Amino acid sequence: MLSLKQCVQVLSMRCISMSASKLKYVNVAVDDKTGIATVEMNRPPVNSLNTPLLQELSTTLSDLTKNKSRGLILTSSSPTVFSAGLDILEMYKPDPERVKLFWTTVQEVWLKLYGSVYPTAAAINGHSPAGGCLLALSCEYRVMAPKLTIGLNETRLGIVAPTWFQASMQNVMSVRDTEKALTLGTMFSTDEALKVGLIDEVASDKQDAIKRCEQFLLQFAKISVEARAMTKRNCRGKAIADLENNREADLQNFLGFVNSPKVQRGLELYLESLKAKK
Ligand code: CO8
């Protein structure tokens, strides 16, 4: 016979799988022993974050909250890329209505992930530039496979990382290192990222990264859920409130930026440089 705790776990697994069955770009698997959900971004070739992928991430994060998840491990189905960041095609020659939805969904995913009640960890199994780095930084713990790159490289595209991107980095790195990394648009190697505190551990591969994330999350099994959540809120609350109270202004700032001819030219050149690699 199942214990009460097991019944709750089975019920929550079913709820998650009901939403998960409708997802195209996100794979969700909940471990029935630990209650930890592994969420795998699955939008080949590089998990660039377009509106549908962001919407599925947002739905998944809400499902985890509803189901009182014991924890989230965020990873990627790609063997080489965690996420290539925001989909540049959503920002290049943007459709006016779609680009608004795009940015408000980026805001929504960050608010849900950075402020989640349940504990979170990123198993970074591939390169993680810009928005990919932001997703990893929004988690509470980061484990990365060797010989990869990670960073907020926005200035290299002629873009300014919003203050909440900056706050996410400053939450784990010194103010000095954050300023240097953001102004230079530094992409750190795995070893460099460990040195500056951008990641917490180096793993041998994806499975090892997931295992180490799980070990981190399991530490919370003996901690009061409420005390944990309130403490996390105290640590992260200011950055969250800053965006929650200024979402429209942040959207207008983004629209002004993305619609400027200079930024459009920069995005065009960047897209060309990606194609030219081949
Ligand atoms: N968006 C859209 N398409 C992309 C992106 C992207 N971010 N990244 C790669 N692609 C495309 C490439 O153009 C290529 O397309 P195609 O097959 O049609 O030629 C395809 O994906 C595969 O790319 P690669 O051949 O480059 O794949 P690799 O495995 O060799 O390299 C990398 C993977 C390392 C991820 C590499 O693609 C890369 O460096 N990508 C760019 C990453 C980047 O700089 N992203 C920045 C996005 S901007 C952002 O996230 C924050 C914006 C904040 C805005 C704030 C405004 C106020």
Q: Are 110 and 242 in contact (CB under 8 A)?
A: no
Q: Report pLDDT digits (tens) over 238-259.
A: 999 999 999 999 999 999 999 9
Cβ-based neighbours of 161, under 8 Å, separated by 6 or more: 152, 154, 155, 182
Q: How many domains does the chain have?
A: 1
d(C-alpha 216, C-alpha 201), whole Å: 11
Report whether pLDDT(12) > 70.
Answer: no
- Per-residue pLDDT, 228: 97
Written as one string, the DSSP assignment of 106-157 is HHHHHHHHHT-SS-EEEEE-SBEETHHHHHHHHSS-EEE-SS-EEE--GGGG
Is the overall model pTM greater than 0.85, yes or no?
Answer: yes
d(C-alpha 278, C-alpha 261), whole Å: 27
Report whether pLDDT(8) > 50.
Answer: no
Q: How confident is the model at residue 278 (pLDDT cuts 50, 70, 90)?
A: confident
Q: Which of 41, 274, 275 to mutate to test the pocket of ligand 1 (most atoms within 8 A of CB)?
A: 274
Report whether pLDDT(2) > 50.
Answer: no
Report whether pLDDT(143) > 60.
Answer: yes
d(C-alpha 201, C-alpha 42), whole Å: 24
Give the CATH number, domain containing residue 273.
3.90.226.10
- Per-residue pLDDT, 157: 87
- Per-residue pLDDT, 172: 98
Catalytic residue among 40, 90, 154, 214: 154
Cβ-based neighbours of 177, under 8 Å, separated by 6 or more: 196, 197
Q: Report pLDDT digits (tens) over 105-128.
A: 999 999 999 999 999 999 999 999
Which atom of ligand 1 lies nearest, measured to the CA of 257?
A: 57
Full residue range of the structural domain in which residue 25 is found: 4-277
Q: Report pLDDT digits (tens) over 196-238.
A: 999 999 999 999 999 999 999 999 999 999 999 999 999 999 9
How many angstroms separate the alpha carbon of residue 40 from the centre of ligand 1?
Answer: 18
> What is the sign of the dihedral through the CA atoms of 74, 79, 82 and 83?
negative
Place of tokens 């990394």: 181
